[in-house]
Structure 1
């Protein structure tokens, strides 16, 4: 643990734009645990300017010195505080000047041994079915896909390097993950005639290969049992070079390969039914649809737009440049729109008339909350103040300072917090009914609440998910998490009786009973960390997406796998009737039928947002300033099918 004086010294080491010196590194090392400089030196083996997955660094340090993952995470955080490392998502990058200085202190033999250690650690990342072949690397191991050939060369593993780059299965996998240009760049490491020929052919066919990889949308990583479109096209393109015949023959001779002309191609992309322009759009976009087929787009730039999805008519269009997005009444009859001047405009959707103007407390508006029955409206500000209004009369019900900037409706109650204590309040007068304590809570995903407001679930940072009784203010249950990373959770719709809980570093999902607090099931068939989770509106199935490029659909009655869908599903959107699931990939969205597993549609946009009534259409955020609506067929239209779960 660093002392406050050390922290002060650390602040003085903000070299920022100036070049780092050996003295700077020595001063920083004094603030770090013993042997930390040696650990940093080991990172000098990684490629300059490259972002390296923390999981890879942790595996390397565990191999070299037996360091645990927790100690690794702590050291990386301290190095980031001292500007030695630059974190981004779940990766870090060693400062270029720091890397150069540390590498100069390494002898050539030691550096070669480090490269060899990276290669050996990389082998532990290989996944089934063939754990000895490099193309079995998981897609999320992007650093290894990009730079494994470099480490093989620097480690002196030239025969293995040549074997790797001559394997067209590796080439196909790399095109899927990073594009054809990176596959071409690898071949410059070899001085072989066949490598030159392969470079020429890849360059010639780059547009076709990248297009096919994009059309697949990343729906399969390294599949050797299904017909593989990209691999088939790769063979077609490379067959024009006689020098590549031996490698093509080895490639098509692998088990499960389907000849190029018989391999099914993905169906053609469907065209949007309507496209709606949203001025001032940001990435903080909320897209909603109601049972009447109306579509709403609410952004953090104060842009509020509503349309009739059938006619395309705009029902409401306002841009106020406020920080917080607007909210809609439960029946969509009015919208509460904040503006830049601390006012909330209550607007009639049908006529566009401003019904009343509500004055917020001092400070920019942070969040708006509307009652489940539409009777009251609450606002929090950047100055942590809370104001509650009666929507119908416009009268102020309560003015409360120092409550935090987050709030949510929980049945008839209002819950506020972050920063500061989490409190359950009576929205009639704002008085505190129960104080749940000083909880540093995650609020990005919201707080799951019971439909009747009897309980609320709050995820503590690095701690459990606590289910609080809003009647007594006591904790009903602590639902433990295997990881302290950002949580993923979803509440079952069937009487709110179950809650699925995981995090972005876990490979499994645990199902808890919200009534008894007991664990109903654990879903642990993913081979990589999860990235998304959702459920059918009626709670009949649960879908989980992971970095192993699969989306699993689970029956919530038996908690057995119903279906395994291929794809990298960061964005999952279920149909309003639960009949299909939209899986947003890196370039394309695939819509899969839940019952038949057939492909309903392949959409050339990557961010599905919401489903229309009855699952008749899907809205996607297709670009910076527009939303597209696509009709979804009720029967499969494509020849690509979802993978069925393996037989038990």
Structure 2
């Protein structure tokens, strides 16, 4: 059973699922709920009329420019209302959209992270499109409130973040109502007045800080929203901007926590790589979104870039220079960060962009060494989010041509498209490190990633499965194959036959790559193929393609076609209908006869004329091969297929070998493998024909 289905069944009634709600309102905030809050609460509690879900949008009530955090405060007041807390019983999900939700890729990243959080388990990445998995996730909640905060102006994908169940609601904050769906109720609010009140309340606390404390608090705005920030990073920033010592940093952090300007996280244990505790009393902190927004406004673009540059420069000093990989490479080997630095793994690209180093950020996000590490930690959404952020910044602030070096940021759009296309294949694997092999295999022939994939594979120092070169003659011969239900290899290894899953079967002479095919009835589907031991003829089992072939719904007709491989001409055809269906076939060991098993009995046929033989010949049949578990010609490797995965086992050293995932589950499963005489490995199934080889 799927883990998500088990989770759904365990949570029958949905009363045990508690979600992290909105950020709690700070103690220093002295603000009563305005009328817009009460109106939003009323609409969220009302019974839906025409539509099956409730949607409410908080927007500014006038043309005046607002910073945005006023609407965020109003949304938090709505969530804190006693009536909302009683109705949704803690099932509130806060989603910070931010500027990245402006286009479809950025929205897809946020939608995927929302689904992962609601499911409590990894889910396939779908590039923002509808999926049955998302339906099952939302069905886990009888009542749910999703708050989408900070949707940027002009965003045309807002509807992709909304929920659509009858007892579920969405609250959106955005400065522009023009892109909202018609069923979302708009509540205008005086956001400018709220922002003035928030600033005044914050000033009563910052006035109690020591000299320079307000500036240091504003510098905490460089960190990501709602993220848990490690104290060593705070110390690094303040050392770079104000020359503060660890003791001074500890004293200021304690004072900020006393004034409720930051939220400490004392229950997390610092990793051994961190410096000794100098009296913080806690190891991580979180900055309130309102404090962060005001701090970024007070810093301004120039000081924001300087603070980020100080952090990035200090981090770069701890890492070696990066070796060039198939062209350009970032200045530092950022993928060698300590594995415990969760914050940096997720937000480093954003800090590089805020520091003004767009080229470094683009080269890092497009480096497969970084992509592989991000993939292990967060799945495909991690590297896709990095590439999306770089692409969005590049579109808003292009880099002059003369300032670019190597493979710079403007190429990330193509890289992101290539990575997004194979994202369904990059779900967690067993062992986890095998997902790197899946990534490199599928990017091997990509125009943007291909050279890097080849270079990384060559430097792994262990056996890997690689694609045959695009210029390989056999690859070219098989290029027209869209799928294969069955494959057979002649006894001498010189002839390869494929049942294409449609009304066609084809065979290939491996010596000179001569290609022949045979077409059958328009409504037939070729599902099995068997070659005679001497390769002079082949037998293809087909069924009526109008209905599915299965035990509950058998086909209305089945056929066996015998074809001469030298000329491509059909020799004869056997048919079975209704109670005389042909169930299986086999070829004689001496290549002179054909065996069929039908519902009304077993029969033997002359392979040259199709004449029914009175008795079964004594030579016996060629044993049917088990294609799901095959051994290489040299006896070193055993290949097995299960679902959409191909796994190798090293028989010499008796240990697991390379592993690949060749097709998403929803597109089909692999049927088997065939070892070719030149040590190539062919995996096949309805998703396609895949030709690879082992590189040691």
Category of TM-score, reference length = shorter chain: 0.3 to 0.5
Calculate the TM-score normalised by the size of structure 1: 0.34
Question: Which of 1 and 2 has greater Rg?
Answer: 2
Calculate the TM-score normalised by the size of structure 2: 0.32
Is the strand fraction higher in 1 or 2? Answer: 1
